[in-house]
Amino acid sequence: MKRAYLIIALFCSSAIIMAQQRVTAYVYDEETKKPIDLVAVVSFGDYTITNSEGGFAINVSNDDIIKLSHLSYQAKSIDLRQLGDSVFLRQRVYRLDEVIVLPKDAIIKRIKSVWEKYDKLFARKRERDFPQQTFYYRQLTQENDLYTEYVECFFTAPVNVSVQTMTLQESRYAIINIDSTATIINYFFLSKLPTFSRSRAISYYNVNGFLVKNFEKYYDIRLDRIISQDDENEVEVYKFTPYKEMIGQMAMMLSGFLYVRTKDLAIVRLEINTKNMLLIDIPNIVDESYNFTVTYRDGIESYPIVETVKCDTEVSYVRNGQENRVKMYSILFATDFKLESEGKTMRKSDYLLRKVADSEYNQEFWDNNPIIKRTTIEQKVVDDFNNRGYFGSMNLNQDSK
């Protein structure tokens, strides 16, 4: 059965491929047969990633070669004429023997080398010195069994994606009833989440990222595993766990994994999980958790260019004596999609959802945009919100968050 997909996904055609045709397929794990998300898919003139269901759609030319790559899987190139409905990738080899013998001092020395690499790279750099990139962001919120909120926008920003310098270009927002639903924090409130930071690690309302100066003071670090297909593509995976005595500080402590390419000490992936960061303006919170996956575009001696950010958030809170559970699913990815509008520059104090809600709503832009392909659930939510006239009318006021 044909299905719609999150992030750039359509149906795979077995017809004759014409010039600049758009083709689709699904990517699966060769052994488990499970779909693989965040696979980079590249043709001669286009680039995309797979969605949470493994689906992708990409523009191709005659006799094109499609290349698929993922950190945990062996890269694969497919002649367009041999592309079917499904593509299977084989997992890279995990080497665990070195994890056992590598001493703690060696691990700290290794991570310090990574910090020094980026310290030198970012020395005397300002936000405007970073290359600009177009990003697409989508967020779907569910409260209990009801889908309550939908956000999507295009913006430009430096490749490190800082909200202070982002320019909002096209956006739309809808919420079913602002008085009875909880609007939770989205990705952009955590956009200061630093992969690398020279700033003070512990400060009021600051996020203590992994790669800060004197990181060993705040985190216990272990070499979790080594991903290796060959020496050229070897990646070391380090596990960061905050020391208990640091968790009580005002800074928001994280835990998770940092992926570092062995040959050039480049950061290629960041996985973050954290609980109870207290970033949501909802009374009577019982529990909250965030799970981030950030991937960076491949490059040697270059800026850590953000390629995708996937964030799943879950919050439990009590209202009228009843516990409610809110889930937020969001994804951001870099795209070469060109926008005609100049956009609105965001300030440090700006609240993204309010800016999106206050933006001029362009129905034609969203109806006819070939970049945006949604999952079946998302499309149903969008259609329902469109039919009810929620888009462009349910604005946030200054007292709502």
> For each of the chain's 401 residues, which pLDDT tens digit applies?
333 332 222 223 333 334 568 888 999 999 999 999 888 888 887 778 888 788 888 888 877 889 998 888 888 999 888 888 899 999 887 665 555 557 889 999 999 999 998 888 878 777 677 778 888 888 888 888 889 889 888 888 877 666 567 788 888 888 887 566 666 655 555 555 666 777 666 665 566 778 888 889 889 999 988 888 776 778 999 999 988 777 666 567 788 999 998 888 988 888 988 776 555 556 677 787 888 888 887 655 566 778 888 888 888 888 788 888 888 888 888 887 777 777 777 776 666 777 787 777 888 888 777 677 677 788 889 899 988 888 876 555 544 33
Instruction: Give the pairing of strands 266-275 and 255-261.
Output: antiparallel
Cα–Cα distance, 101 to 198 (Å, whole number): 31
Q: Which structural domain range is residue 256 located in?
A: 127-387
pLDDT value for 1? 39
Q: Based on the fold, state whether residues 198 and 132 are members of the same structural domain.
A: yes
Assigned domain for 99 exists: no
Cα–Cα distance, 217 to 310 (Å, whole number): 28
Output the domain CATH number for residue 38.
Answer: 2.60.40.1120
pLDDT value for 384? 92
pLDDT value for 78? 92
Residue with tokens 């898919």: 41
Q: Based on the fold, state whether residues 72 and 218 are members of the same structural domain.
A: no
Assigned domain for 148 exists: yes
Cβ neighbours of residue 268 under 8 Å, at least 6 residues apart?
Answer: 71, 235, 259, 260, 261, 295, 296, 298
Assigned domain for 275 exists: yes
End residue of a domain, out of 91, 112, 139: 91
End residue of a domain, out of 47, 63, 91: 91
Assigned domain for 13 exists: no
Cα–Cα distance, 209 to 267 (Å, whole number): 13
Q: State the Cα torsion 268-273-274-275 to the nearest 10°.
A: 160
Q: Based on the fold, state whether residues 217 and 292 are members of the same structural domain.
A: yes
Q: Based on the fold, state whether residues 37 and 159 are members of the same structural domain.
A: no
End residue of a domain, out of 66, 91, 116: 91
pLDDT value for 87? 94
Q: Any idea what the Cα angle at residue 138 is, between residues 132 and 139, rounded to 5°?
A: 135
Assigned domain for 69 exists: yes
Question: How many C-beta neighbours within 10 Å does residue 355 have?
Answer: 20
Q: Based on the fold, state whether residues 201 and 326 are members of the same structural domain.
A: yes
Domain count, the chain: 2
Assigned domain for 392 exists: no
Q: Based on the fold, state whether residues 200 and 149 are members of the same structural domain.
A: yes
Q: Based on the fold, state whether residues 172 and 64 are members of the same structural domain.
A: no
Q: Based on the fold, state whether residues 206 and 264 are members of the same structural domain.
A: yes
Q: What are phi and psi of 105, to 5 degrees?
A: -60, -35
Q: Based on the fold, state whether residues 193 and 264 are members of the same structural domain.
A: yes
Going by the DSSP 8-state scheme, the letter that residue 206 receives in this structure is -
8 Å CB contact between 313 and 296: no
Instruction: Indicate the burial class of 157 (C-beta count within 10 angstroms; 0-12, 13-18, 19 or more).
Output: buried
Q: Based on the fold, state whether residues 213 and 360 are members of the same structural domain.
A: yes
Cα–Cα distance, 261 to 255 (Å, whole number): 20
pLDDT value for 9? 29
Helix (H) or strand (E) holding 352: helix 352-358
pLDDT value for 180? 60
Residue 380 corresponds to which tokens in the numbers above?
Answer: 């149903």
Assigned domain for 68 exists: yes
Assigned domain for 76 exists: yes
Cα–Cα distance, 348 to 399 (Å, whole number): 18
Q: Based on the fold, state whether residues 153 and 48 are members of the same structural domain.
A: no
pTM: 0.79
Helix (H) or strand (E) holding 118: helix 104-122
Q: Based on the fold, state whether residues 86 and 134 are members of the same structural domain.
A: no
